[in-house]
Amino acid sequence: MTLLSSDALEAALRAIGAERYHNLHPFHRLLHDGKLTQAQVQAWALNRYYYQSRIPAKDASLMARLPTADLRREWRSRIVDHDGDAPGQGGIARWLKLAEGVGLDADYVESASGILPGTRFAVDAYVRFVQERPLLEAIASSLTEMFSPTIISERVAGMLQHYDFVNEGTLAYFTPRLSQAPKDVAFALDYVKSHATDTEKQEAVLAALRFKCDVLWSQLDALYFAYLAPGFVPPGCFQPAAV
Ligand SMILES: O=C(O)c1cc(C(=O)O)c2c(n1)C(=O)C(=O)c1cc(C(=O)O)[nH]c1-2
């Protein structure tokens, strides 16, 4: 690979999203087009909670490695966005409301006892990637959020239109994400563009974004396999009838 200009690097990052982001996964198409049963939507909400719940741990380990107060202050807002400043606030609490809104028990969701092994493996791999890889790659792996406002808008509109068990309150999780994600991306993208200054680093940040797309994609593969086709629910995992 030859050295890319900063604009060409951004274009290469965006091309990865255009090819691999999870908006393209068949499970999301079905979710957004109203083609899932309530139980299948519950399976999605339950499993996705585990992703949400681990994001602040991921961000705390990243923040611990940032060298300056300016950088840490910037990253700190992500943890506050998800954990809130008080009980009942923040993205994790809002995701629990979403899960309850689609008919799940909040304690069961929080326990993560019914999530799929594929969810656990993918999410844990993301947390470990951020802990173990160089800081530049860890920051680059967050850049899937460049693509999230589009999918979130599509998801909220589609779910409100198609599912009578969903209302705007249920989906309140997503509203702040539409402003939080672009703010987070502006910082992370700027950092990546100014620090990936040789071909090796540029290849590494592109690979980090591909890895993260795989993390998101494989969570949906696991959901599809268990709750659509062939419909093999692993032992001990969420069985729609059991809740
Ligand atoms: O709804 C989505 O499709 C979606 C995607 C992503 C993403 O691209 O990783 C995140 C979120 N939502 C999200 O809500 C969120 O808080 C979040 C944090 C991160 C991250 O990697 O730090 N990604 C995402």
- Per-10-residue mean pLDDT, the chain, length 243: 96 98 97 97 98 98 97 97 96 97 97 98 98 98 97 95 96 95 97 98 98 98 98 96 57
Asked if the structure places residue 118 within a domain, the reply is yes
Segment 37-82, tens digit of pLDDT: 999 999 999 999 999 999 999 999 999 999 999 999 999 999 999 9
pLDDT for residue 157: 96
Which protein residues are within 6 Å of ligand 1, measured from CB? 55, 91, 142, 144-145, 148, 151-152, 177, 216
Ligand 1 atom at minimum distance from 177 CA: 14
Spatial separation of the C-alpha atoms in residues 136 and 189, rounded to whole Å? 11
Spatial separation of the C-alpha atoms in residues 201 and 13, rounded to whole Å? 13
ipTM above 0.95, yes or no: yes
Q: Which domain holds residue 51?
A: 6-228
The structural domain count of the chain equals 1
Asked if the structure places residue 235 within a domain, the reply is no
pLDDT for residue 113: 98
Give the distance, in angstroms, between the CA of residue 108 and the centroid of all CA atoms in the same chain.
Answer: 21
Contacts 24+ apart (CB under 8 A), 74-77: 74/187, 77/183, 77/184
Asked if the structure places residue 237 within a domain, the reply is no
Give the distance, in angstroms, between the CA of residue 36 and the centroid of all CA atoms in the same chain.
Answer: 20
Q: If you measure from the C-alpha of residue 2 to the centroid of ligand 1, how many angstroms do you get, rounded to a whole number?
A: 31
Asked if the structure places residue 242 within a domain, the reply is no
Residue with the nearest Cα to atom 24 of ligand 1?
145
Render the burial of 169-184: b for 16+ CB within 10 Å, e for the rest: ebbebbeebeebbeeb
Spatial separation of the C-alpha atoms in residues 141 and 204, rounded to whole Å? 10
Asked if the structure places residue 19 within a domain, the reply is yes
Omega of the bond leading into 230 within 30 degrees of 0 (cis): yes
Instruction: Tell me if 184 sits within 8 A of 78, measured CB to CB.
Output: yes
Model pTM? Answer: 0.97
pLDDT for residue 138: 98
Q: Residue 223 — φ and ψ, nearest 5°?
A: -65, -45
pLDDT for residue 243: 47
Residue with the nearest Cα to atom 4 of ligand 1?
148
pLDDT for residue 240: 86
Asked if the structure places residue 93 within a domain, the reply is yes
Asked if the structure places residue 188 within a domain, the reply is yes
Ligand 1 atom at minimum distance from 180 CA: 16
Tokens standing for residue 116: 């799929």
Q: If you measure from the C-alpha of residue 55 to the centroid of ligand 1, how many angstroms do you get, rounded to a whole number?
A: 8
Give the CATH number for residue 18.
Answer: 1.20.910.10
Per DSSP, helices labelled H in the chain are: 6-20, 26-32, 38-64, 69-83, 90-101, 106-111, 117-132, 135-140, 148-162, 174-195, 199-227
Question: To which residue do tokens 């100014």 refer?
Answer: 194
Asked if the structure places residue 241 within a domain, the reply is no
Ligand 1 atom at minimum distance from 81 CA: 16
Q: If you measure from the C-alpha of residue 51 to the centroid of ligand 1, how many angstroms do you get, rounded to a whole number?
A: 9
